[in-house]
Amino acid sequence: MSVIQRDGAFYTGEYRNLFKEHGYSEEEIRTRLEQAWADLFYGNPDVRIYYPMGDDKGYILDTGNLDVRTEGMSYGMMMAVQMNKKEEFDRLWNFSKTYMQHKEGRYKDYFAWHCRPDGTRISQGPAPDGEEYYAMALLFASNRWGDGPEPYNYSEQARTILRACVHQGDNGEGDPMWDPETKLIKFVPEAPFSDPSYHLPHFYELFALQADERDRAFWKEAAEASRAYLHAACHPETGLSPEYANYDGTPAEPQRHGDFRHFFSDAYRVAANIGLDWEWFRKDPWQVEQSNRIQAFFRDIDVADYRRYTIDGKPFDEPALHPIGLLATNAMASLAADGPDASHFVRLLWNTPLRTGVRRYYDNCLYFFCLLALSGNYRIYR
């Protein structure tokens, strides 16, 4: 099945509904999406990941680690704005703002990357993938619902985060989240390397329209730099990328907390990000070839047999922690792929339920984003 050749959704306002293209009815698709939301936010204990807290807060629980992470909180906010669920969005944002965002010091306006469900911080340091999702979700909220009183003045909250991401350290305290020289996102502010799955050029294109005026050129350059970076980080034959990579795209050296030179959990998101960038902007034809490559690599591997891999495709004797998440990102690559495997992954995702049990959090976040994207409901609000 060949990709419909047209400009990206940013220019046309039209979003592909791959499920509909594969014969599923609009009613089936809407029901599936709404049921997944209900299951994740209000469903049975072995499925749900969202928990209201008091009168005005709520959190997304990493069920495998029993903590609350900026990754999950910002993901939950993006899910909520896409689904037009303002109450859940505001609860997640209020929890994040109250317990996770730094008010002063070297991390001012950044967010402590994880805390306990009662809001007690476990670590003070930030993780930049949370900040970029917070900022994008807040801008979408502003454009969809309008700004309200603080802390629901969404657009100003987003600009505050983006300002810190670029300018932290200008006064001599702290570090920015993007490397000023390469315009590439860092793994953490102090790190001299990146994480390929953090690269969201489709977000940076939109930041360039709504960030502080002085930073708009930076965000345009960051979008171009990230697209070029992914060419280097993804293996030219398998399409696999490492979890952590240097600014030249080569796998980063092992860290004290582990060896992240291989294709494992973080890296799954690269395929999804590339697919969504193609759907929204269609600026880099390489993304079509890359999506075909990674789908071809996984086409004949059963989901139950997904493993850790070297980026040149050698499997480890270690199963994937998040096989449903990997399936979801492989399916989301179908937004860009025009090869023979695109239909296979769309149908396989449709026929696969949400994950249950202890490890469900990460898998089901990626699964829900895939449902949004493949149904034409992962949209730009501006």
Residues marked as catalytic? 71, 266
- Calculate the alpha carbon distances from 21 to 6, 131, 338, 376 in Å: 16, 34, 14, 11
- Calculate the alpha carbon distances from 208 to 159, 201, 234, 282, 374 in Å: 11, 11, 26, 17, 26
SS3 48: coil
| Cβ–Cβ < 8 Å for 252, 300 | no
Smallest Cα–Cα separation from 138: which of 97, 194, 190? 97
Longest CA span, the chain: 57
Smallest Cα–Cα separation from 98: which of 59, 49, 149, 41? 59
Q: How far apart are CA 102 and CA 125, in angstroms?
A: 10
Q: How far apart are CA 323 and CA 239, in angstroms?
A: 17
Long-range CB contacts (within 8 A, 24+) of 146-154: 151/93, 151/94, 151/97, 152/90, 152/93
| Cβ–Cβ < 8 Å for 380, 367 | no
DSSP class of residue 52?
E
